[in-house]
Amino acid sequence: MNSSTIMIIDDEPQMRKLIRMFLEKEGYSVIEATDGVHALSLLDETPPQLLIVDVMMPFMDGFTFAKEIKRTSTIPLIFLSAKGEEWDKIQGLKLGGDDYIVKPFLPGELLARVESVLRRSYQNKPIPDTLKVGPLVIDTSAHTAILNEIPLSLTVKEFGILHLLAKNKGRVYSREQLLHIVWGEEHQSSERTVDTHIKTLRLKMGTDGELIETVWGIGYKFGV
């Protein structure tokens, strides 16, 4: 499973949903922002390893966002736009964009460009693999989870669930989504298996097990 987190910044809900589906299918964690202003407010919470930024947005467009973020950050950035004119592409690259994708695009093209930018950007340094959310610290390279400075003894699936929910805190995942992402598309498990793993995970987390919240009729989320 990919350890990279990608932020999608686009004011079109359907476009965000589509890109999220492509990326999560490949194991990436995804954060959504509706515009540049919203994205800036989220960056300090869970810094992503890549930004996918729509050019045409209200409040703060993609080019303005790029100017702002590149002053203080080296996070790689892919522009996404329905405008495919050469001037727009050149402008995006001059502003620090690592790539420029024209809508509409094929899933394979998007994923190939995402992988290419991540590879180029982090080939000489490791992608950050430590996540801190409240009292929880997860190290994906060491495959460890520490809660209130106490290591948790987790199975592979429990670790996968905790990592996914913590990286996307506040987002609700259905049982079916958890099965597809953590167990894989070829899984033969039932949704009840997810409930069993969640129950065991909460027990191991002690009083902090309540951080994994049940959203009745839908699924689970990390509630910090």
Q: What is the pLDDT of residues 102-125, one digit of tens each?
A: 888 898 999 999 999 998 888 766
**CATH 3.40.50.2300-classified regions of the chain:** 5-122
Q: What is the Cβ-side half-sphere exposure of residue 170, based on CA atoms within 13 angstroms?
A: 9
Q: What are phi and psi of 80, to 5 degrees?
A: -130, 125
Paired with 130 in beta bridges are 139
pLDDT tens digits for 162-182?
A: 998 998 888 899 998 888 888
Residue 22 burial (10 A CB sphere; 0-12, 13-18, 19+): middle
77 with 66: CB under 8 angstroms? yes
Mean pLDDT, residues 36-49: 81
pLDDT of residue 219: 93
Band of the pLDDT at 222, cuts 50, 70, 90? very high
Length of the chain equals 224
**Is the sign of the CA dihedral 150, 156, 162, 163 positive or negative?**
positive
210 with 223: CB under 8 angstroms? yes
- pTM greater than the 0.75 cutoff: no
Determine the Cα angle at 28 with ends 111 and 146, to 5°.
160
What CATH architecture is 130-222?
Orthogonal Bundle (1.10)
> What single-letter amino acid sits at 224?
V
pLDDT of residue 1: 47
Residue 202 has pLDDT above 80, yes or no: yes
Residue 2 has pLDDT above 80, yes or no: no
- In CATH terms, the superfamily for domain 5-122 is Response regulator (3.40.50.2300)
Q: Other CB atoms closer than 10 Å to residue 167's CB: what's the count? A: 22
Token output for 201: 């995970």
More confident residue, 29 or 172: 172
More confident residue, 128 or 170: 170
> What mean pLDDT, rounded, does the chain reach?
86
**CATH 1.10.10.10-classified regions of the chain:** 130-222
